[in-house]
Amino acid sequence: MQGCIACNKCGELGRCVFRDELYDTLHGKLAGADGLVVGSPTYYAGPNGSLCAILDRLFYSAGELLRFKPAAAVAVCRRGGASATFDRLNKYFTINNMPVVSSQYWNSVHGRLPGEATQDAEGMQTMRTLGDNMAWLLKNIQTGKIPLPEPEEPVRTNFIR
């Protein structure tokens, strides 16, 4: 999976210069999405590298499509590192003005092999709560129909002086 190279061409084009089927499919679905849930296995206390590569490109090039859409991160791990994965995924949401949907704990579930996560009773409860909270927030947004806040002109700090 090709990662972002910070060429900034997506700002001009509205999409990444690197074209691949997965990027095109995901980018095409963002405008019609009411919310977003991103899940990842945990490797070395972080999300899957290919997932981060596509998210870097999507979130930088499609920020306006994502703004104010509720989002949730889910981490799956065998044993440890889920909170670091959860934190990393949430950063994509917060930098794009997306409300982060929570549950009663960090959104993680434990298991290594297919089906094992369903044996994590606390993790499955967390997932149910997350689903309920996402549905509640989406319904409130739809019912309220309050206009979105106007964004301020970005201020960029140059730390190299």
| pLDDT-derived band at 11, boundaries 50, 70, 90 | confident
Residue range 40-81, pLDDT digits in tens: 999 999 999 999 999 999 999 998 899 999 999 999 999 999
Euclidean distance between CA atoms 142 and 123, whole angstroms: 29
Tally the residues of the chain. 161
Question: What is the count of structural domains for the chain?
Answer: 1
Structure tokens at 22: 């997965």
Instruction: Provide the pLDDT for residue 102.
Output: 97
In this structure, is residue 151 part of a structural domain? Answer: no
22: domain CATH number is 3.40.50.360
What's the pTM value of the predicted model, to 2 decimals? 0.90
**In the chain, what percentage of residues exceed pLDDT 90?**
85
Structure tokens at 86: 């959860």
In this structure, is residue 132 part of a structural domain? Answer: yes
Domain that holds residue 88: 9-143
Query: Does residue 160 surpass a pLDDT of 90?
Result: no
Q: Are 14 and 57 in contact (CB under 8 A)?
A: no
